[in-house]
Amino acid sequence: MSINEKTLATDGSGSTSPVSLAAVGVETVKTAVGLPVSLRNDPSFWGMTSTQFLGAFNDNLFKQVALLLCVDYSQSNQTSDQQATALLIFAIPFVAFSGFAGFLSDRYSKRGIIVLCKLAEIAIVILGTLALWRNSHTENLYAIFAVLFLMGTHSAFFGPPKYGILPEIIREKNLPAANGIFLMTTFVAIIVGTIVAGLLKQYLMPDYLLVVGGVYVLVAAAGLATSLLVRKTPPANPNLKIETDSLLVSREMLRLMWRDRPLLLALLMSSVFWLVGGIIQPTVNAFGKKQLGLSDSNTSLMPAALVVGISCGCLLGGWLSRSRVNFRLVQFGSWGMVVGLTLLAVVGASGRSVAVTRHLAEVILFGCGIAAGVFAVPLQVFLQSRPPADKKGQMIGAMNLVNWIAILFSSVLYGAFQRLLVDTAGATTWKIFGATAVFLLPIAIFYRPRADGQSS
């Protein structure tokens, strides 16, 4: 059953039945003629997947080092946790530039933009190495914050073409599987980047910064090489004119989403995935380093367990969806996240030994990640397939914008939770897990989408 033939619907009782995807208005930028039938033998898809993998690895390699330095700074200077500030600065470019990036993605070749972004990444990681050198001599975080802003800017322009190009280079029936593989490999990159960041900081910094910088540059250069494997694509809408509102989200896109409530709801629910992630990553870092007193490398294993779960959940979500949009997985995933975060709060408050608490937390984070991945995949497929062909790039830009507004908001929430719930020593960091579970509970209860995306 291909994705342009069938999807899932509910009859209101929770059971499912197949319906035509004409109801969700699937179109493609180009015919499937000439595109490989199988993803397995498609070098363009694997080139794009490798490019995204390497970019995500480098992003998280630098970002996790920066976040760990923020925790060190707050501990050594007895100041508030600077992770919220770092994440806020990283998120601002996405809010400022995602709409314009979506416009560029539709106006010009997505493949061309991808290659340019990879060139820019090489320059940015060189600056990042200099920022780490400066921090090692002055304990000043400002240069690192500046590079985080540049990395956020790079990723804001990379986001719309990297997701928007998938419907242009693969067949529609392969979209769910491709999204599962794409997201799974992305989160594998986050896992590896997060773990390696802890190892680099603990064993190579600050004495071997040239080695650290060499890793950044080598990965960025490899990403540029794999981007050249991506199949060339024509502009989706070469006559698209820039308008003032293209800097955010165009009035046309706002009207489309306002008329299409299933699309709007899916967009908002997709942002929840990133909001929760934006809260949990710094919370886990603070939980490991402050509450449990773990080293940088051991602390980095805990968010890595979460991301391992997310990658498995994305793969599972793609497999369970097969060639359909399966919204039952969204409900399963939302409840899984609520239960997982609640268990993390219970374990953190239990007073068990550090070793037991750490290992229990890693297992729960893995399970919570599976739920999050299963939650994300159907929403991602729906947001890619629902808009008209010439609006897909702008839709991905709008999705990036809303997701990063959520991440920006998550840094504010994390800072508020730190002030309201956590003591100075960080011994009650576990309370943030419980607060996040309470925040998610209404979504788990009330968001019950049918196959067309409507809430029942």
Q: What is the 3-state secondary structure (H, E, C) of 389-429?
A: HHHHHHHHHHHHHHHHHHHHHHHHHHHHHHHHHCCCCCCCC
pLDDT band at 296 (very low <50, low <70, confident <90, very high): confident
What is the pLDDT at residue 337? 94
Structural domain includes residue 11: no
Q: Would you say residue 384 has pLDDT above 90?
A: no
Cross-strand pairs, 19: 7
Q: What is the mean pLDDT of residues 113-118?
A: 94
As a whole number of Å, the CA-based R_g of the chain is 21
Least confident of 53-57, 150-154, 350-354, 362-366: 350-354
Tokens at residue 102, please? 């979506």
Please, are residues 72 and 144 in contact by the beta-carbon 8 Å criterion?
Answer: no
Q: Which residues of 351-380 are buried (b: 16+ CB within 10 A; e: fewer)?
A: eeeeeebbebbbebbbbbbbbbbbbbbbbb
Q: What percent of the chain has pLDDT over 90?
A: 25
Say which residue, 314 or 33, is predicted with more confidence. 314
Structural domain includes residue 288: yes
Structural domain includes residue 145: yes
Please, are residues 118 and 223 in contact by the beta-carbon 8 Å criterion?
Answer: yes
Q: What is the CATH number of the domain that holds 101?
A: 1.20.1250.20
CB atoms within 10 A of CB 169: 23
Q: Would you say residue 14 has pLDDT above 60?
A: no
pLDDT band at 97 (very low <50, low <70, confident <90, very high): confident
Q: Residues near 439 by Cβ (< 8 Å), separated by ≥ 6?
A: 413
What is the pLDDT at residue 360? 93
Structural domain includes residue 21: no
Q: Would you say residue 7 has pLDDT above 50?
A: no
pLDDT band at 21 (very low <50, low <70, confident <90, very high): very low
Tokens at residue 395, please? 């839709």
Least confident of 96-105, 266-275, 436-445: 96-105
Q: In angstroms, rounded to a whole number, what is the distance separating the alpha carbons of residues 367 and 329?
A: 15
Q: Which residue has the tokens 């299963």?
A: 374
Please, are residues 391 and 27 in contact by the beta-carbon 8 Å criterion?
Answer: no
Structural domain includes residue 74: yes
Domain count, the chain: 1
pLDDT band at 426 (very low <50, low <70, confident <90, very high): low
End-to-end CA distance of the chain: 26
Say which residue, 323 or 175, is predicted with more confidence. 175
Structural domain includes residue 12: no
What is the pLDDT at residue 433? 92
Q: Where are the alpha helices (DSSP H) in 4-141?
A: 43-77, 83-107, 110-138
Structural domain includes residue 88: yes
Q: What is the mean pLDDT of residues 423-438?
A: 82
**What is the span of the domain harbouring residue 46?**
41-231+248-446
Q: What is the mean pLDDT of residues 348-362?
A: 89
CB atoms within 10 A of CB 11: 10
Structural domain includes residue 3: no
